[in-house]
Structure 1
Amino acid sequence: MHICHIVLNNIGGAPKVADSLISSQSKAGYEVSTVVLTVLESRWIVSFKAAKTVIVMKVAGTLFIIGGMIHQIWVAIKLSGVIAEQKPDIIVCHSAFITKLFYLSKFIPGSFSVPYISYIHSDYISESQVKCKTNSISALIQNLFISLASRIDMLALQQASGLIFVCNSLYQRLANIGLKHHRIVISYNPAIDEISNQPLHPTAKSWFNNSQLITFVCASRFHHQKDHKTLLKAFAKVSENHLNIRLILLGEGDLETEIQALAKFLDIDEIVLFAGSVLNPRAYFSLSRAVILASHFEGLPLVLVEAVASGVTFIATDCPVGPREISEVLKCGTIIPPSNVDALAAAIIDHVKTPQENIERSEQIAQLFSAASCAERLEVLIEQVISKVSIN
């Protein structure tokens, strides 16, 4: 059987999950290919080495702006040609956006007819709501395009041969707006073990080695979604009365310079470390007091699972999807309202005033967030889809 995975790019949680699935399927004897729509950096963060074939379409990032329907149709045409050359037995689309592109590609003359599974990793409803604008004619037009795109998204999901959601709350969010499907699978993403021996940032190491300091860690890209502004404002508020706290920010992104400027404006740039992208975030997690995630929205934020796997607890915002479910499943963590400086500051103070909490959830994590269970759920779904196609 030839399984083709389509991913948006090579960076982030969804590509890592796809890479894990591709590796498992390759070891199981399947022929696996991967189509990557665009590469965000010259160096591969995820390289999909286990795939027999990796095709990079090199589609410019600007083509993914919501409302750019003409561009999206152009990408769908290119995608149709790629799939026709590969001739897979089944497609796995790793986002609602890719599902839409593949759905549109099926209407291209000469396209290759093949069943597809949609693997939903993120809360794309919240993503589209962020992009909505008001108070101008151009904004009205853009909102109409967003509405049209959402309708096509829903139709593409309804027509899929199967749907996989990375958590129950994500499925419920779509079910609440009318999504109905006869073949739904809930599959938590795997918490993949680290193999890097990258040394700690020198400043981070000195902070961790100082028993008088209490250091928190946040690992997320610098993007509006992750709301570093609220995090820094809360941290600045706490630092007024707790001079021994430190914050390490792991990651990169378009807003990094802006967030650095905010840290300087708040006069906390000496106690906030911008450590950049690292290959061993768990090494930082394990030495911290807690991991903080201040996002406006998420899918299944594995950073929280990885924090717990490292033996520490977390503070996370109560997004529509993700953090609360992880907190309830693993029975740990502090959940606070999004965009609330006072609530986040209070949660940080609670962790400063209480002793270090050692978390042991290895059994639950191995059971619920393993690569094997994730691959098994997808394999069962693929077999169901293929068997139905064979009967028809």
Structure 2
Amino acid sequence: MNICHLVLSNIGGAPKTANSLISSQSKAGHKVSTVVFTDLDSRWLVNFESAEKLIIMKVAGSSFYIGGAIHQIWIAIQLSKIISGLKPDIIVCHTAFITKLFYLSQRIPGSLSVPYISYIHTDFISELQAESKSQANWLIALFQNLSINIDNLISLRSLHQASGLVFVCKSLYERFLKIGLNPTYMAICYNPAIPDPNHQLLNSSAESWLKNHDLITFVSAARFHSQKDHKTLLKAFAQASQYHSNIRLILLGDGDLETEMQNLAISLAINHIVLFVGAVPNPRAYFSLSRAVILASHYEGFGMVLVEAVASGVTFITSDCPVGPREISEVLKCGTLVPPNDVDALAIAIIDYAKIPQEKINRSEEIAQFFSETSCAKKLEKLIEQVVYQ
């Protein structure tokens, strides 16, 4: 079978999962191609090397404004040409945004008609709601909300027209049911817990904290984006530090808001106990030495970092997002959930964890059962067969 995966970039959980699936499908004897919409970031080891053909479109990111819409149509035209050349039997679109782009490409005259599966990695319903609140100017907000509503209609149409849908957790599937999506062919595939690909050394400052038994060190791994709500995390940590002077926080990741968060740490007078390490290829090495992993997001598609924390032998503190974290906590029978955007609740959780010794968690059976690469690949394989041979 000729399978083509469409992926936005090589950064984050969706590309990591796509790379795992591409490898599994290639080993199974399928012809697999991959189209990536942005340049590969050399700092990340997701390189889709198992794909028989890798095409990088090198396009800039798109917004919800009219300029962004025009840019998306241009991308759709280019994508239509690529798909006509590849002639796949089926397309796997990773994220609802990529699904929309492929749907637009199918509207281009002369396009090759190909069935497609939408692999929904993110809670794009919450993303749209967050985007609609992001603009303060009422006129711009009005225009932006109109653009969002149009974009939302196109996105929903693209999902309705998909031959199959994959959801990364049950709660995400249930959330989409509420907006009228009830696909004939669907699968719920937890993202696989993929081990770190190398044994790179830890950041020296981070290592000195993590291996110092007089310190209690927490780790958070998230890109610096408003979704991840580092503001609440830093404010909560500042509160907790008033009760435990020996706590430390290591932040893994990078992004547009990193400098702003560094300045916030300074203004909160906690810059000496918070370490900004940047993006690392081996987060589990940090997790395994921590007291707990913290995720303070407003919303998540799944929250794979929590599974990786448990796979590393530690527990987690997480905001109770609309989908994702609660389901992970219930499946793995561990973790502490707090309301999103609640500084006091998060501070209390950190204080409580600082009171108790580090507890090593063994959930290897649950990890193998629910979060294995084999399980994920088999579910997608079954769905593809249903779609292609229906």
What is the rounded CA distance, in whole Å, between the counterparts of 2:57 and 2:161 in structure 1? 25
The residue number in structure 1 matching 2:199 is 197
Residue from 277, 288, 291 that aligns with 2:290: 288
Could you say if the C-alpha distance between residues 328 and 270 of structure 1 is closer, same or farther in structure 2, counting changes exceeding 3 Å? same
Q: Structure 2: how far apart are the matches of 1:228 and 1:244?
A: 20
Q: Is the 8 A contact 2:223 2:254 kept in 1?
A: yes
- Deviates most, 63-72 or 274-283: 63-72
Q: Is the 8 A contact 1:134 1:140 kept in 2?
A: no
Instruction: Choose the corresponding residue for 2:234, options 232, 243, 254.
Output: 232
> Which runs of structure 1 show a deviation greater than 6 angstroms over 4 or more consecutive aligned residues?
none
Aligned residues: 387
Alignment of 1:127-276 (within 5 A): 127-132=127-132, 133=135, 136-276=138-278
Structure 1 residue 134: Cα displacement: 5.7
Shift of 1:227: 0.6
Shift of 1:40: 6.0
Q: Kindly state the Cα deviation for residue 64 of structure 1 after the two structures are TM-superposed.
A: 4.1
Cα distance in 2 for partners of 1:351, 1:291 equals 11
Gaps of 5+ in 1: none
* SS of equivalent to 2:187: strand
Deviation at 1:193, TM superposition (A): 1.0
**In structure 2, the residue corresponding to 1:319 is in which secondary structure?**
coil
Secondary structure of the residue that 2:389 maps to in structure 1? helix
Assess, with a 3 A threshold, how the Cα gap between structure 1 residues 260 and 135 changes in structure 2: closer, same or farther.
closer
Counterpart in the other structure of 1:55 = 55
Q: Is the 8 A contact 2:232 2:341 kept in 1?
A: yes
Q: 1:87 maps to which residue?
A: 87
Provide the residue aligned with 1:105 in structure 2: 105
| Structure 1 Cα separation of the partners of residues 217 and 122 of structure 2 | 29
Aligned-pair distance for 1:128? 1.1
1:39·1:58 contact (CA, 8 Å) conserved in 2? Answer: yes
Q: Tell me how far apart the structure 1 counterparts of residues 248 and 43 of structure 2 sit (CA, whole Å).
A: 31
Counterpart residue type for residue 286 of structure 2: Y
Match of 2:339 among 332, 337, 340: 337
TM-score when normalising by structure 1: 0.96
Q: 1:306 to 1:66 in 2, by over 3 A?
A: farther
Partner of 2:279: 277
1:340 and 1:292 map into 2 onto residues whose CA distance is: 14
In structure 1, distance between residues paired with 2:41 and 2:369: 34
How far off is 1:41 after superposition?
Answer: 3.1
Contact 1:317 1:338 in 2 (8 A): yes
Alignment of 1:21-100 (within 5 A): 21-39=21-39, 41=41, 45-61=45-61, 63-65=62-64, 68-100=68-100
Q: Is the 8 A contact 1:225 1:295 kept in 2?
A: yes
Distance in 1 separating the partners of 2:108 and 2:216: 58
CA-to-aligned-CA distance 1:187-238 (integer Å, 9 cap, x gap)? 1000001131111111111112221110000011111111111101000111
Cα 1:66–1:374 change in 2 (3 A) is: farther
Partner-residue secondary structure (3-state), 1:270: coil
* Most deviating of 163-172 and 274-283: 274-283
TM-superposed CA distance for 1:87, in Å, is 0.5
% identical equivalent positions: 66
Secondary structure at the counterpart of residue 288 of structure 2: helix
What secondary structure is seen at the aligned counterpart in 2 of 1:191? coil
Q: Deviations over 1:313-370 (max 9, x none)?
A: 0000011111001001111000000000000000001101122222110000111001
Superposed CA RMSD in Å reads 1.2
User: What stretches of structure 2 of length at least 5 have no aligned partner?
Assistant: none
Structure 1 Cα separation of the partners of residues 197 and 151 of structure 2: 40
Moved more, 86-95 or 202-211: 202-211
Aligned pair in 2 of structure 1 residues 121, 384: CA closer, same or farther (>3 Å)?
Answer: same
Shift of 1:174: 1.1
Greater shift in the superposed pair: 314-323 or 177-186: 177-186
What is the rounded CA distance, in whole Å, between the counterparts of 1:329 and 1:48 in structure 2? 30
Residue deviations 1:121-170 (CA, integer Å, cap 9, x gap): 00011111111146522321211111111111111111111000000111
Q: What does residue 2 of structure 1 align with?
A: 2
| Cα distance, 1:72 vs structure 2 | 1.3
In the superposition, the TM-score normalised over structure 2's length comes to: 0.97
